[in-house]
Structure 1
Amino acid sequence: MMTKRLTRLAILTALACVLRLVFGAFPNVKPIAALFFVLILAYGLADAIIVSSLTMVVTGFLMGFSVIILGQMISYALILSLGALVFKWIKPIFLRTLVIFGLTMLYGVLISIFSARLFGSPILPFWLSGLTFDLAHAVSTALFFPILVTIFKNILKHDTESDAT
């Protein structure tokens, strides 16, 4: 069981890293945040946080490593934890997508606070200057989420059937 989980975490981390690199030309338009939220539904909060943290570290080596990666890991862990909490009460995909939009905007606030403190800048102007990037991130995450939920439902159905045989 542990080998299966570790293999799944490695594959999902590799997928998230590839998606982050492939969409690198589009600032903040990436499906990885949506993938992390789907992982909460598919495998639980712990696996989602592990994959998100590993993705930030691995892509940090490829795209440039700095202290900001710690801020990304903490910010993702916070919004994913809030998402897991809210997902217990909200079931319709449309409402979950709206929540994810809001949580992704919160990610932008959190990472801006971390970055502003890191660079010694005032927080509000720093956050406002990146608001369009935060909006692009939130919109793309909200658009990718229903697509990835559909893909994972099919994968989970197949995975369950293969475990039964």
Structure 2
Amino acid sequence: ASAQQPLNQQAPPPPTSFASQLQHTLGQQQFCDPTLIDRGLQHADKRRRDWIDVDALNEDDTQACSAYAVPIFEHLREAELVRRPNALYPEAFQTDVNAKMRAILVDWLVEVAEEYKLCADTLYLSVNYIDRFLSIHPVQRSNLQLVGIACMWIASKYEEIYP
């Protein structure tokens, strides 16, 4: 009974900003600074006024689901901001890997993508996966190439649809 709140006390109100909601939900472990997330969402709100609503032509078409376009893009934008790699990761998290090694790895992955004729999105997604992984996991220098090719393999599973 001591773990429960007394009936006369209310739970604290939910956080108002998306960043504070994220911190409330995830605790202190985050990929990026919560204030960056809020600024990114505010910037998206300003840009939304300038967008051309391409789904307006399909308002009457029930199969186009144009009514869901704005919430879908808002959700994807929030997800992108939450999953953004930490910009300080080479110095903050890695002891054996530096930015020059990352650049060499990316150059090698470009050569691999050209050799196997992978689409450009596969390469971009694999670099994103590498940055996200390196921003939370320390990696030894000897395993960096393995991390890179594993990320490219995962990205190719999403992007490459033709053998």
TM-score range for the pair, normalised by the shorter chain length: under 0.3
Q: Name the TM-score, length of structure 2 as normaliser.
A: 0.25
Higher RCO, Cα 8 Å, sep 6+? 1
* Higher-helix-fraction structure: 1
| Higher CA-based Rg | 2
TM-score, normalised to structure 1's length? 0.25
